[in-house]
Amino acid sequence: MANNDASFLKLFLAPVAKYLDDDSVSEILVNGPNQIYVERKGKLELCPEHFPNEASLKAAAVNIARSVERILDDMYPDLDARLPDGSRVHATIPPISRVGTIISIRKFKKDALSLDSLMKFGSFTEDGAKILNALVKLRKNIIVSGGTGSGKTTVLNCLSSLIPEKDRILVLEDSSELQLKQPHSVYFETRKPDKNGKGEFSIRNLLIASLRLRPDRIVVGEIRGGEAIDLLQAMNTGHDGSMSTIHANTPQDTLARLETCAIMSGIEMPLSAIRSQVAGAVHAIVQTARLMDGSRKVISIAEVMPLDENKDYRVRELYRWKTTRVDAEGHLEGHHELAERPTFMDMAKVMQLDMPWS
């Protein structure tokens, strides 16, 4: 965190200042003036610090909002913003929150994790890395799915790092988090409406605009609503190799969630047509999870198959995590294993890509 950025945060959030500087802390959660938690290695820890009173905590939240030119007051009691260093802050004030002012700070990682570092952490094995590399190099459209805090953005960042440097990549996010190394990466960020409700520029607006900017690949930080239909249409009309994230618990659920988000667009389409769009646009799903011991893993890589005769979704699991034991301290033991061979093996051989089944 830059000195100026750190100084204003420490000024407003003095009781948690040391956690802002602690690289082992990934998230800071303030639940009113008397309860503070931090996350380390996927696990929450209750901290001894507290704020003097509710008034000082609310003042800190209001000042943070002002520092990023946003409003937090009785008319606008909810703040979702990106801090100057890239960290994400969310704040809610009473009466919306019943225990006092709530602040969540998800700290920005200075150095993006690589595939190698995720392998060292046990997120996946070399076989998994080979499959992920092949998916990107073969220009497969990929959705990274998982729950909150499961590592979706981290995995998406790793996948993005595998895109060839010759490609023009357009990155669309609500709050900038992705850190691509490719020289021809162009970044866009949504804009919230002003106090009069005007000036909003949503992910849907960005997607529509991006199609006029000659992207080779489009990377969307997260799909939450009707923008799904625009991304699916982009994937189906020549922008192969695009990718995004979504909240879902299994590869099968991911497709159903995409379908639901597409319906939220308000565009009148038969359900069968939406399902055809989803199954035709998405080639692979990378499923992430934060497991019960706090570890984050890729628990499945699945290939999306054509709809069956009943127009239902089908997936073909290529790679998965299998838990074999939970020890006395709650740590999981298990292993990743290969499942079915992908249908794109022949093309991977043509491209001379190293695959686990070769």
Instruction: For residue 127, give the DSSP letter.
Output: H
* Plot region of 214 (φ>0 → left; ψ -120 to 50 → alpha; else → beta): left
* pLDDT the model gives residue 152: 93
Amino acid (1-letter code) at residue 213:
L
Q: How far apart are CA 108 and CA 3, in angstroms?
A: 14
Q: Where in the chain is the domain with CATH 3.30.450.90?
A: 3-106
In which residue ranges of the chain is pLDDT below 50?
1-3
Q: Rounded CA gap, 72 and 55, in Å? A: 14
Give the CATH fold of the 3-106 domain.
Beta-Lactamase (3.30.450)
d(CA 9, CA 103) in angstroms, rounded, equals: 12
pLDDT digits (tens, 9 = 90+) for 223-261: 999 999 999 999 988 889 999 999 999 999 999 999 999
- CA 345 to CA 331: how far, in whole Å? 36
What are the start and end residues of each CATH 3.40.50.300 domain in the chain?
A: 115-350
pLDDT at 67: 83
Q: State phi, psi for 47 to the nearest 5 degrees.
A: -100, 150
Q: What is the pLDDT of residues 312-357, one digit of tens each?
A: 999 999 999 999 998 888 888 999 999 999 999 999 999 999 999 8
SS3 of residue 332 by DSSP: strand
Let me know if domain 115-350 sits in CATH 3.40.50.300: yes
Closest by Cα among 246, 249, 203, 251 to 222: 246
Q: Which DSSP symbol is given to 136?
A: H
